[in-house]
Structure formats: C-alpha cells, structure tokens
C-alpha cells in the first residue's frame, strides 16, 4: 500500500474510532483492554485469511507483528471470551474494583467501607494510591461522583455505590447489537472498496447546513418515510417462499438485509467571505 493510501486509511480508522472510544470511556473500558481486543481481532483475521484448516502460528505472527507465543495463547481462548488486559484498565475502574474486593477497604462481611478522603490507611487517598497510582485524587473522585459510582455523605465520608465506572446502565443485548450493526456496515463498505465492479447497495444522503428550526420536522418526516420503506423490505425478506426452513440435515442459506439509520449532529456554517474587490477596468488609450 502506498504512503498516501496508508495515511488515508489511518485517518479513516481514527474517524471510525472516535464514536467507539467515546462509548468505551462511558462503559469504563480502558486502553489496555481495547488493545487486547484489537490484538485478538488481528489474530482471528489473519487466521481466517489462511486457506489451511489448522492455524499457522508463525504465519499469523508475521502478518500481525504479534509474538508467536501470544498468538497461540489468544487462539486457545474460547471464541467469545475477550482476553484479560494486564495493563491499561481505566483508573477509576481499578479503584472501584479495589474498593469492593480488597479486605483492607471492606468489613469482615466483605462490604465496602465508607472512607474518609484523606489518611494514611483506609482512606480514599490510600485506595487511589494503591490501585490507580495517580496523585490526582480530586480529579478521580470528581469523575466517580459525576457518574454516581460514589457519593459523599453528610459527615464528609465517601460511600461506594457501584462496582463499575460505566456511566449508563445499558441493556446487554442492545450493546451487542451495536457491534453487529457496525460490523455489517463496515463489511459492506470494505466489500465495495475491494470489489467496485460488483458493489453492494450503499447510499448516504446528508445536508450539513440544515436550519435548526426545521430539524424536528425533518426527523419526523424522514422517520415516517423510513418506516414505510423498512416495512416493505421486511415483507420481502421474510417471504416464506424465499426462506429456508429447518430440516433434518443442514442446508445452505444466505443472510441478506438492508439498514437505514438517521444521522444528526450539530455543525457550524462559517461566515461568508467578503467579496474580493474588483480591479477597475483600464481605459484603452485612444489612437
């Protein structure tokens, strides 16, 4: 791949990662955990690109840059089990885990203690020092209070409320659907990039200069029109005459679908540039 193409690929990946990393931060997932997932994805992709039935650890190591021994460990894990991250857990998440599991910060029944902010032992500062190694205790506490994982009592003591830093209580099925839908979209776009002569249908229609007064009206109209279209797609795809039903033996089938989604984000229309002054016309000298 040429340098300009590689630079374009890296810029595209960064744009793709922006919303994903915002989601990961809200879920309390640190860079180390993401790094382990990325390595696992690299190893699986390299394995699946080999026509041989048994994975060639040496080949995978060459393609991915991951040591052969680590490749073997990653592929021995159950398919849907993410590898543990040795480093890079979010600091707030590490502090919460320590508060719930470390006997020094729990009572005899294993219930987390309420902690004073300062103190050499059994304090929030001591907890942060042990599990986050970060001197910015007030910053970390502010984040834990913001997401309501911790609360400050009337006497100033701190009480832990949540085992996780996750700022939202999402439904697990909804989270997995994000991965499914984003995978489908990227898979289609990559297919079209690699096979321009036989692309799958993709079309994006957007206007970055919509008057905010008309946004609610347009969202309503676009949603209603999309629902009608999606219902017609559903009827066509779920036609019993076109669907393979389970039988005593396995049968070949195909997954086919189409996705519709609404795009919305604030933008800014820059002020118009002042018109450049026109140069006065030169008089033609008379003969």
Question: What's the residue count for the chain?
Answer: 287
pLDDT in tens, 148-200: 889 999 999 999 988 877 665 566 777 788 888 899 999 999 999 999 999 99
* Residue 28 zone, left/alpha/beta (φ > 0; ψ -120 to 50; rest): left
The CATH architecture to which 91-160 belongs is Orthogonal Bundle (1.10)
Q: Is the pLDDT of residue 234 over 50?
A: yes
Helix (H, G, I), strand (E, B) or coil at 250: coil
Helix (H, G, I), strand (E, B) or coil at 48: helix
Q: Is the pLDDT of residue 229 over 70?
A: yes
pLDDT in tens, 23-72: 888 887 888 888 888 999 999 999 998 888 888 999 999 999 999 999 99
Q: Is the pLDDT of residue 286 over 50?
A: no
For the CA atoms of 17, 19, 24, 27, what is the dihedral angle to 10 degrees?
-170
Q: Tell me the average pLDDT across 263-273.
A: 88
Model confidence at 80, pLDDT cuts 50, 70, 90, reads low
- Domain positions in the chain: 3-76, 91-160, 172-238
Task: Kindly state the DSSP code that residue 150 receives in the 8-state scheme.
Answer: E
Q: What's the whole-model pTM score? A: 0.64
Could you tell me the sign of the dihedral formed by the alpha carbons of 228, 230, 233, 239, in that order? negative
Contact 102, 130 (CB under 8 A): yes
Model confidence at 287, pLDDT cuts 50, 70, 90, reads very low
């Amino acid at each position: 791949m040429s340098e300009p193409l590689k630079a374009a690929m890296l810029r595209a990946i960064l744009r793709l990662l922006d919303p994903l990393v915002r989601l990961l931060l809200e879920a309390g997932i640190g860079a180390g955990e993401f790094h382990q997932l990325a390595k696992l994805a690299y190893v699986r992709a390299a394995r699946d690109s080999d026509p041989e039935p048994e994975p060639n650890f040496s080949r995978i190591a060459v393609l991915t840059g991951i040591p052969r021994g680590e490749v073997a460990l990653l592929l021995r894990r159950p398919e849907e089990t993410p590898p543990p991250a040795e480093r890079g857990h979010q600091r707030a998440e590490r502090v919460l885990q320590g508060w719930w599991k470390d006997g020094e910060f729990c009572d005899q029944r294993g219930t987390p203690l309420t902690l004073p902010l300062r103190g050499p032992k059994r304090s929030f500062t001591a907890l942060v020092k042990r599990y986050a190694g970060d001197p910015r205790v007030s910053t970390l506490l502010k984040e834990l209070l913001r997401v309501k994982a911790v609360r400050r009592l009337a006497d100033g003591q701190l009480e832990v409320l949540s085992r996780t830093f996750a700022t939202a209580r999402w439904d697990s099925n909804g989270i997995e659907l994000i991965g499914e839908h984003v995978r489908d979209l990227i898979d289609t776009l990559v297919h079209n990039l690699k096979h321009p002569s036989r692309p799958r249908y993709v079309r994006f229609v957007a206007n970055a200069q919509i008057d905010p007064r008309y946004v609610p009206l347009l969202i309503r109209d676009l949603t209603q029109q999309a629902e009608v279209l999606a219902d017609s797609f559903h009827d066509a795809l779920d036609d019993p005459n076109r669907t393979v039903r389970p039988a005593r033996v396995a049968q070949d089938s195909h997954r086919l679908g189409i996705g519709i989604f609404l795009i919305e984000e604030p933008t800014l229309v820059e002020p118009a540039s002042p018109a450049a002054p026109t140069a006065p016309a030169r008089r033609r000298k008379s003969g």
